Copies of this chain bind each other. A is one copy, B any other.
């Protein structure tokens, strides 16, 4: 760790003004970090040394530092070290050390258990697509956007989804949104405006983010249990709609059984209800073609939601809602009210990526990579912790391991996060008190991280990892 010499600090800040020394110090440091002259990880001199070097009081130094720590520009570390936070001009993805393979640097926002490996994001292809789209967009597209979405993207997505999700989709059915979270928020508004009521069924367990989104939209969430054939259609309540993950239940990983698909659709059709099909990772099936979208069974009662979050990157905030004719206008209105529409250059870039085949190539590559990682992790678990049962089909970016009790659950979550692997308590994803287990974000688990994850899961499950390789 480089520690800045007090004289370098003076060099960096320039001549000390007569008045407002605190602002000079604070703004100078902030600018130095923002401009990259002070790099992430560099330690500041002690406040005593800095004060002496700059000819100011220790209190002035401490106040400026406190403020910058509050802004996230500096970071307090143990043993009173203050370092430049890892932010603005950080060099591209400093590789995590071998002890933290598949992990994130400390102090960052924790990754979601469903987040893809950023190392697989096709940076070059996306960078080229967005550059070319920006250069070549017709002038007429540089005004306020069409709130429904750029026609070019709706055409490309419709063609892609027809093939990839075996569902009838036309460009006019598609509404471009800033991710599934926004799609659900807008649909929540649409449902709340309908007379049908504000009750909405959700699978239990489910993504806490989805449940929060629906509740924030003013809907009453009614949990429906999930078993090894998917949502229990015999337990469907009277509600205006249901959010379902038929292709790959989140988090349990089961696929909705064929007769349950039919029963679910009948429930929607008979009651004039909507099924919100959260198709979050259906294109990441590793053992066979994914089951077709539910929308194929009844385009009038199924709303298909998807996004690039699992397939490209959640940082892009691009998603789609394929809506029945009866809900489409209200949805477009809600999108207009929310933000007038999505970024046109980004929409055009995504349309290009689909149209020129780069998206399909990326999906093939990502599937292969994740399939390989999942295989190695499951093999290691089967070999070294055979008592543990991993649930769900060969798909997606996460896996679920049941654990005996609260204590085991808490230990597993903490230990996994400690080594930088995203993890959530299964009980925390249950609306009603549910079983205990851990949902592991496996997208980045590879190399030496595999053995660590196996060891942690085995320990939490009350078994010793039996590997001789360790």
Give the B-binding residues of A (Cβ under 8 A).
30-31, 34-36, 40, 70-73, 86-95, 104-105, 108-109, 111-112, 115, 118-119, 121, 123-124, 126-128, 130-132, 134-146, 151-152, 155-156, 158-159, 162, 170-172, 177-179, 181-182, 185, 212-213, 216, 309, 313-318, 337-346, 348, 351-352, 354-356
Looking at the complex, which one of B93, B135, B146 makes contact with A137 (CB distance below 8 Å)?
A: B93
> With A31-B159, A158-B35, A355-B34 in contact, is A71–B139 under 8 Å at CB?
no
Which 6 A/B pairs are nearest by Cβ-Cβ distance? A93-B139, A88-B355, A118-B142, A315-B344, A93-B138, A182-B339
Looking at the complex, which one of B72, B92, B111, B140 makes contact with A151 (CB distance below 8 Å)?
A: B72
User: A87 → chain B, closest Cβ, in Å?
Assistant: 5
Residues of B within 8 A of A73 (CB): 155, 171
User: A258 → chain B, closest Cβ, in Å?
Assistant: 26
Least CB separation from A178: chain B residue = B339
CA distance in complex: A135, B92 (Å): 8
Contact A155 B339 (CB under 8 A): no
Residues of B within 8 A of A131 (CB): 127-128, 130-131
Contact B93 A170 (CB under 8 A): no
Least CB separation from A86: chain B residue = B355
Contact B151 A88 (CB under 8 A): yes
User: A355 → chain B, closest Cβ, in Å?
Assistant: 3
CA distance in complex: A152, B185 (Å): 28
Residues of B within 8 A of A139 (CB): 92-93, 95, 118-119
Contact B340 A317 (CB under 8 A): yes
User: A153 → chain B, closest Cβ, in Å?
Assistant: 8
CA distance in complex: A397, B356 (Å): 38
Looking at the complex, which one of B87, B318, B346 makes contact with A155 (CB distance below 8 Å)?
A: B87
Q: Point out which of A111, A131, A352 has the most chain B C-beta atoms below 10 A from its C-beta.
A: A131
Least CB separation from A121: chain B residue = B142
CA distance in complex: A386, B127 (Å): 52
Contact B313 A341 (CB under 8 A): no
> With A170-B71, A171-B34, A172-B70 in contact, is A92–B136 under 8 Å at CB?
yes
> With A92-B137, A139-B118, A142-B121 in contact, is A317–B341 under 8 Å at CB?
yes
Can you tell how many copies of this chain the complex includes? 2
Residues of B within 8 A of A182 (CB): 338-340
Residues of B within 8 A of A71 (CB): 170-172
Chain A: interface secondary structure? helix
Contact B316 A344 (CB under 8 A): yes
> With A87-B152, A136-B91, A137-B93 in contact, is A315–B179 under 8 Å at CB?
no
Residues of B within 8 A of A145 (CB): 314-315, 317
CA distance in complex: A137, B313 (Å): 12
Q: Point out which of A128, A137, A216 has the most chain B C-beta atoms below 10 A from its C-beta.
A: A137
Least CB separation from A125: chain B residue = B134
Contact B146 A109 (CB under 8 A): yes
Looking at the complex, which one of B35, B130, B179 makes contact with A339 (CB distance below 8 Å)?
A: B179
Contact B151 A123 (CB under 8 A): no
Residues of B within 8 A of A142 (CB): 118, 121, 313-315
User: A419 → chain B, closest Cβ, in Å?
Assistant: 16
CA distance in complex: A3, B143 (Å): 30
Least CB separation from A347: chain B residue = B315
Least CB separation from A422: chain B residue = B143
CA distance in complex: A192, B316 (Å): 30
Least CB separation from A95: chain B residue = B139
User: A161 → chain B, closest Cβ, in Å?
Assistant: 10
29 contacts between A and B (CB under 8 A): A34-B151, A34-B155, A36-B155, A36-B171, A70-B172, A71-B172, A86-B138, A86-B140, A86-B355, A88-B351, A93-B138, A93-B139, A93-B140, A94-B138, A108-B140, A112-B143, A121-B142, A123-B135, A128-B131, A142-B313, A142-B315, A178-B339, A179-B340, A181-B340, A316-B343, A316-B344, A317-B341, A338-B339, A343-B346
CA distance in complex: A256, B213 (Å): 41
Known A-B contacts: A88-B151, A123-B135. Give 5 more (CB < 8 A).
A31-B159, A70-B172, A73-B155, A93-B137, A212-B337
Residues of B within 8 A of A92 (CB): 135-139
Least CB separation from A110: chain B residue = B143
Least CB separation from A444: chain B residue = B139
